[in-house]
Each structure stands twice: as C-alpha cells, then as structure tokens.
C-alpha cells in the first residue's frame, strides 16, 4: 500500500493511507498516513459499527486537509475495544497461509539469514 500511495500521488492525486503499520509508511515514505492500532483486516473498525468506522474516516479526512509536509503520520488515539488474545484470533485466518508451512520447512536457513542480517546491521 505505501508504494501504491506514492504512485497515485505522483499521478497528481492527493492520497491518504490508513494502516496499522506506520513502520512501513515511514520507511517507504508515504505522503499522508493515519496510523490505527486496529487488527489486520479491520482497519476502519468492526463490522456494522458505523460510528467507529466514521470516527476513523473523519480523522482521516482531517489529516488529508491538515497535512502540509510530505511524510506526515498521525496516530489515531482510539484503542481497539477487544482484548488482545481475542483480537488476534479475529484477525488471523483459521488456516495459516501457505508461506507459514514453507517457512517452517526452511526455518533454519531463515534464522541464519536473520542472524547474518542482524550482525551486519550492528556493523552498519
């Protein structure tokens, strides 16, 4: 999504990204971002909770109006109303994605790669 925001903005459109991963918005450089601490798949709120969805959207429109600097990230102040354990269950699929099993088979080399990257990062 950060990449798409940049493509649309470059095409002459004013964009606003709503995401629960401002980490990537910052790293990749998104023009305007509203960060929400909501679970995956529920970025604007819970199903049929019109008020909650509207609160996020109204804040998003304000950010679009008020941002003056490229790379603006505003943090939405509302917390997800469901306890973390239940929220995790809600946002993750029942069956893990195929990449999970694939990673399971290659976990050794994956961890070695992480360690190498970690050491490199420390050197840098």
Choose between 81 and 110: whose C-beta lies nearer to another protein. 110
**CA pseudo-torsion sign 109, 115, 119, 121:** positive
Choose between 81 and 118: whose C-beta lies nearer to another protein. 118
CB of 81 to another protein, least distance (A): 14
CB of 33 to another protein, least distance (A): 9
Burial of 16 (0-12, 13-18, 19+ CB in 10 A): buried
Distance, in Å, from the CA atom of 88 to the CA atom of 41, rounded to the nearest integer, reads 11
CB of 95 to another protein, least distance (A): 8
């Amino acid at each position: 999504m950060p990449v798409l925001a940049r493509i649309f903005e470059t095409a002459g459109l004013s964009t606003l990204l709503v995401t629960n991963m401002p980490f990537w918005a910052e790293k990749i450089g998104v023009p305007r971002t509203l960060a929400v601490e909501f679970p995956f798949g529920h970025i604007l709120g819970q199903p049929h909770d019109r008020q909650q969805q509207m609160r996020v959207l109204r804040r998003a429109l304000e950010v679009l109006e008020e941002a003056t600097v490229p790379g603006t990230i505003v943090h939405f102040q509302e917390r997800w109303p469901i306890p973390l354990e239940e929220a995790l269950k809600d946002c993750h699929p029942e069956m893990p994605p195929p990449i999970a099993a694939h990673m399971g088979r290659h976990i050794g080399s994956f961890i070695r790669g992480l360690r190498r990257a970690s050491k490199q990062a420390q050197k840098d």
